[in-house]
Amino acid sequence: MAANTDGKVDDTAYKAEVAQAFDRAATHYDRMGVEFFTPMGRRLVERAAPRSGDRVLDVGCGRGAALFPAASMAGPTGSVLGIDIAPAMVEEARREAERLGAAQVELRVMDGERPQLPPRSFDLVLGSYSLIFLPDAPTALARYARLLADGGRIAFTSPVFTDDTFPFLPPVFTELIPRSLLANLPAEWQPEALQRRFNSWLGQATDLRRTMEKAGFTDVEVVDEPVELVAVSGEAWVDWSHTQGMRLLWTHLPEQESARLRERLITALDAMRDGDGPLTISTPVRYVIATVRR
Ligand SMILES: C[S@@+](CC[C@H](N)C(=O)[O-])C[C@H]1O[C@@H](n2cnc3c(N)ncnc32)[C@H](O)[C@@H]1O
């Protein structure tokens, strides 16, 4: 991984790594006996409530967890454009649009940080668990404000970041994943370093509101609400964790440590199941909605 002289990961190299990680994950993304992104995307759209005929942009659309619920609410007179930096994600979403016969859906490979799209051409910008991957999200937010028509809205989700866990994971993992394991990550990929560099604006609701207002939004609503992550087994959760943020940790762990952590997680998570029933992990999610008024 390319790093600048100040030890930071170069933005272009970082984006290439993110795109590659999601390209590799695309086939199994949220389809491995774990449901998390799908219910979160659905809930985000429920909260944002696009109107019939709305023009919607979904930034970092992935396989369409928010995009398809938005398409059904915008209806045949609306339009939904999904953009993502990972071509394999876009391909999966395109296949799903064809399967559903969703003619109002368009998909393009595009860097969501710098969308090349006409000003004031959308009524709603969505971003479910995607803005956190942008190296400069506050600047991107100002670009989204310009893409929105007057009275247009943005709605996105993010993790509720905490200091005591691997930042993408709910508190239940605090004990299960010892912080000492994080020492295996290169300094620039340490959760705190990434959080400080990319997501510090999201940590506190007051910073978040200030950032949104500076970007041109008003009426900023911040609500934290858990998503019930459901996994068919501990093993399903561990396999799934290789397809999202925790992949970073897995790829940097020595083989033995990785095998030990896998065993420990599977045993502890299976113990949380009700017999053969699924495992449910209440995962805090932050929902942000704001409006553009000129
Ligand atoms: C955690 S996934 C969420 C996907 C989808 N919104 C969902 O809820 O299932 C994050 C997505 O953001 C995309 N992404 C990351 N950086 C991006 C960028 N700079 N531009 C566009 N998409 C990006 C990834 O490729 C991935 O599909």
Structural domain span for residue 90: 11-174+188-230+282-292
Could you tell me if residue 120 is left (phi over 0), alpha (psi between -120 and 50 degrees) or otherwise beta? left
pLDDT for residue 72: 97
Nearest CA to ligand 1 atom 25: 86
Q: How far is the CA of 9 from the centre of ligand 1 (A)?
A: 19
Task: Give domain status of residue 238, yes or no.
Answer: no
Percentage of the chain exceeding pLDDT 70: 94
pLDDT for residue 33: 86
Q: What is the pLDDT of residues 145-167, one digit of tens each?
A: 999 999 999 999 998 887 666 66
Q: What is the pLDDT of residues 5-38, one digit of tens each?
A: 455 668 898 899 889 878 887 877 776 789 999 9
Mutation probe of ligand 1 site: the residue of 130, 134, 246 with most atoms within 8 A of C-beta: 130
Q: How many domains does the chain have?
A: 1
Task: Give domain status of residue 68, yes or no.
Answer: yes
Task: Give domain status of residue 245, yes or no.
Answer: no
- Are 93 and 107 in contact, with CB atoms under 8 Å apart? yes
First-to-last alpha carbon distance for the chain, in angstroms, is 42
Task: Give domain status of residue 161, yes or no.
Answer: yes
Residue 289 has pLDDT above 80, yes or no: yes
Q: How far is the CA of 62 from the centre of ligand 1 (A)?
A: 5
Range 175-198 burial, b when 16+ CB lie within 10 A, else e: eebeeebbebbeebbebebbbeeb
More confident residue, 169 or 108: 108
Q: How far is the CA of 131 from the centre of ligand 1 (A)?
A: 8
Domain at 143, CATH number: 3.40.50.150
Residue 193 pLDDT class (50, 70, 90 cuts): confident
Q: For residue 21, what is the enclosing H or E element?
A: helix 11-25
Q: How far is the CA of 220 from the centre of ligand 1 (A)?
A: 23
Task: Give domain status of residue 204, yes or no.
Answer: yes
pLDDT for residue 71: 98
Residue 1 has pLDDT above 80, yes or no: no
Task: Give domain status of residue 84, yes or no.
Answer: yes
Quote the tokens at residue 151.
């009275």
Instruction: With H, G, I as helix, E, B as strand and everything else as coil, classify residue 185.
Output: coil
User: What is the rounded average pLDDT of the residues 214-229?
Assistant: 96
Task: Share the mean pLDDT of the chain.
Answer: 90
Q: How far is the CA of 228 from the centre of ligand 1 (A)?
A: 21
Task: List all residues whose CB is within 6 A of at least one atom of ligand 1.
Answer: 15, 18-19, 22, 37, 41, 60-62, 65-66, 83-86, 89, 111-113, 128-130, 133-134
